[in-house]
Amino acid sequence: MTTRTDRIPPAPRPRLSLGLVGTVRSRLGAAPRDDLADPASLETWLAAQGLATGPAPDEVDVREFRSLREAAYRLLEAVTGGGPPRPADLKLVNRHATAPAPAVELADTPGAGLVLRTGRPTPEQALGVIARDLADLLTGARRDRLRQCGAEVCGTFFLDGSRAGTRRWCSSGTCGNRVRVAQHRAG
């Protein structure tokens, strides 16, 4: 455990496990793009999630994060109507979910009073944080709001926060627009 600390961000973040699944772009298209292609891109992604690790991720970690991502994708498919979950995927998620949580420290700071600081997680602990988020997502109160994006090549999953529960695209600014343009051209 390193001694470097970062403030816990006050605002709720998007679900980490859905973010991980979304690191494959155009998953169902002819040329999917992987945002976690190497240790440097994994490091960048982790930092953007508030999960910068110590030590920095290596090639083995890249494989571990990608394995968890693919298990998450298949489990999301399963719970949204794609059949029973694969035991191997459950085993993988459960293995990561047992990783200890990143250390936290209550500190008295001049001006701000008591703050909660979190130590940098190891890559294994970061996998644990994401695996536990996934387990919670797949079994939580909003699991019936999980959707696969309706855009042809996208394939990612999102939580439908619309009142009517009729959202079809992961991001109406990108996938939704693309679909509307394609429909307009076809019509």
For Zn ion, the binding residues (CB under 5 A) are 149, 151, 154, 170, 175
- For residues 86 and 178, which CB has a smaller minimum distance to Zn ion in the complex? 178
Alpha helices in 25-104 (DSSP H): 39-48, 59-77, 87-97
Q: How far is the CB of 181 from Zn ion (least distance, A)?
A: 14
- Tokens encoding 115: 């703050």
- For residues 76 and 99, which CB has a smaller minimum distance to Zn ion in the complex? 76
Q: Return the SS3 of 79.
A: helix
Rounded (5°) CA angle 21-25-26: 120
Q: How far is the CB of 175 from Zn ion (least distance, A)?
A: 3
Among 136, 96, 103, which Cα is nearest to 117's? 103
- For residues 5 and 171, which CB has a smaller minimum distance to Zn ion in the complex? 171
Bridge-partner residues for 115, per DSSP? Answer: 107
- For residues 2 and 172, which CB has a smaller minimum distance to Zn ion in the complex? 172
Cα separation, 152 vs 171, whole angstroms = 13
Q: Return the SS3 of 120.
A: coil
